[in-house]
Structures are given as C-alpha cells and as structure tokens.
C-alpha cells in the first residue's frame, strides 16, 4: 500500500513538472508572436516616412547569382537610381541589380517618371509579376536627405500613366490591371500631400465590332465603367 502511494506521488510530481515546462514554452511562444507582430506594424508605419540614403554596406555582393525565388529586394535598383546610373525599362535581378536574362517572380522593373514636373524623375518599381504582366508597384521620391515611398498599389498593376489632372502639384496616376485579352480594372490614384491614395475605380473594356467585311475588330479607345473600389481591394 505504501509503495502504491509512493508511485502516485511520483506520478503527480512528474505531471506537475511537465505542465510547468509546457506552460513556460507556450507563453514564450506567445511573447515571440506578439513581438513579431509589433515589429511588423512598426515597419508598415515607417515605410511612409523618409528613408535614409543607402550605404554601400547595405547592398548584396554584386557577384551574387540571380535568384528565381525569395523576397524582393529593391535596394540594388534604388542604389543605381540614387547614384544616377542609367536605368532601362527592363527587368533586373532583384538581389544583384543586374539585367535579368529570364523570367523570375522577384525580378524588378524600373520606370523613371516625373510626377510633379520639377525636372527630377521619381522611381516606379514593379515586382512579383505574374506571367500576364500584373505586378506589385511602388514609387519612390528623392528628398533632401534621402528618399521616401509615396505610392504603393493596392491592386496589381500591368501598366500606368499620368493624367493631366493633378493635386498639390502631383499628377494623378492611372494604374491598370490586365483581366481578359481586352478588359481589366483601372484605379485612379491622387496625391494628398504625403502619398498617393485610390480616388476612383473602373472596369475597362476595348469594345469589339465587325468591319465592312464582317471581320471582328477592336476599338482603339477603351470604355470605362465606374465601380466601387471595394470590389478591387
């Protein structure tokens, strides 16, 4: 009987110790998740603030091979832009800043465009592109002490253009996403003094028609149908 009682005591102690270890592990894991979330939110907030000029050490080795998968890195292309190097409107390898020889999800395509007619080009970068050409897009502007992010697309972008309309000296941006072969979506972005935000949303369509010979043709001008932006993002 005494031996049986002894086994019960040992079992209870073992169970208690195991529970303590498990609970400590659980709360440590919870703490790590909370800290990670806080760090992510800080990063989201700071993206709209001024970003310091890149330093030489912050960039990957130029001998790195072009990677097909991974996280997109804008820094090599931003470095070329900051230093005044010639940038073509072609895909570049995300990790090294070299011209890409083949398709990759993380290739980065730069476009230089003057958004406010001050004679200085802003840098539009498209990445994470699908084979159809729909991509994420961000735009950076030079500042006195560095550069800052003024545009981040809320919807994929295949191509974009500047409209004649403007606000606070910056042209509105028309960003289109390809849908079918002759249709898709378009968002008009407007500058609010700090960054661009969606202003209006549309569905676009290049209408089909039959010519005199009965052949199907497509109109040169697109037809826009206003829609609620909530349908797109």
Q: What is the pLDDT of residue 60?
A: 38
Give the contacts of 140 (CB within 8 A, at least 6 positions apart).
51, 78, 81, 122, 123, 125, 147, 148, 149, 150
pTM: 0.69
**CB 185 within 8 Å of CB 203:** yes
Nearest residue to 196 via CA among 124, 108, 90, 94: 124
**CB 77 within 8 Å of CB 91:** no
Q: What is the pLDDT of residues 45-86, one digit of tens each?
A: 222 333 333 343 333 334 445 677 778 999 999 999 999 999
Q: How far is CA 127 from the centre of its chain?
A: 7
Give the contacts of 175 (CB within 8 A, at least 6 positions apart).
137, 153, 155, 157, 159, 160, 186, 187, 189
Token pair 């409209």 is found at 163
Q: What is the pLDDT of residues 200-223, one digit of tens each?
A: 999 999 888 888 888 888 888 888
How many Å apart are CA 137 and CA 125, to the nearest integer? 6
Q: What is the pLDDT of residue 166?
A: 95
Q: What is the pLDDT of residue 210?
A: 83
Does position 38 have pLDDT exceeding 80, yes or no?
A: no
Q: Is 184 exposed, middle or buried (CB count within 10 Å of its CB: 0-12, 13-18, 19+)? A: buried
**CB 141 within 8 Å of CB 95:** no
Does position 130 have pLDDT exceeding 70, yes or no?
A: yes
How many Å apart are CA 58 and CA 81, to the nearest integer? 15
Q: What is the pLDDT of residue 65?
A: 54
Does position 28 have pLDDT exceeding 60, yes or no?
A: no
How many Å apart are CA 168 and CA 192, to the nearest integer? 7
Q: What is the pLDDT of residues 151-185, one digit of tens each?
A: 999 999 999 999 999 999 999 999 999 998 889 99
């Amino acid at each position: 009987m005494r031996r049986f009682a002894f086994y019960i005591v040992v079992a209870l102690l073992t169970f208690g110790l195991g529970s303590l270890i498990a609970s400590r592990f659980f709360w440590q894991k919870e703490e790590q998740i909370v800290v990670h979330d806080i760090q992510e939110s800080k990063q989201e907030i700071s993206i709209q603030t001024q970003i310091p000029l890149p330093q030489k050490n912050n960039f990957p080795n130029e001998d790195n091979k072009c990677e097909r998968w991974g996280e997109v890195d804008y820094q090599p292309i931003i470095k070329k832009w900051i230093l005044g190097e010639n940038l073509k409107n072609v895909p570049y390898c995300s990790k090294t800043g070299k011209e890409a020889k083949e398709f990759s999800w993380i290739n980065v395509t730069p476009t230089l465009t003057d958004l406010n007619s001050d004679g200085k080009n802003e840098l539009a970068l498209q990445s994470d592109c699908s084979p159809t050409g729909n991509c994420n897009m961000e735009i950076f502007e030079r500042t006195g002490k560095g550069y800052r992010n003024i545009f981040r697309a809320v919807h994929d972008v295949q191509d974009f253009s500047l409209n004649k309309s403007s606000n606070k000296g910056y042209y509105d941006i028309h960003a289109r996403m390809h849908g079918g072969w002759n249709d898709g979506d378009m968002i008009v972005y407007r500058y609010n003094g700090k960054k661009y935000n969606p202003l209006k949303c549309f569905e676009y369509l290049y209408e089909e028609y039959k010519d005199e010979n009965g052949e199907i043709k497509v109109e040169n001008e697109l037809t826009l149908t206003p829609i609620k932006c909530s349908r797109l993002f």
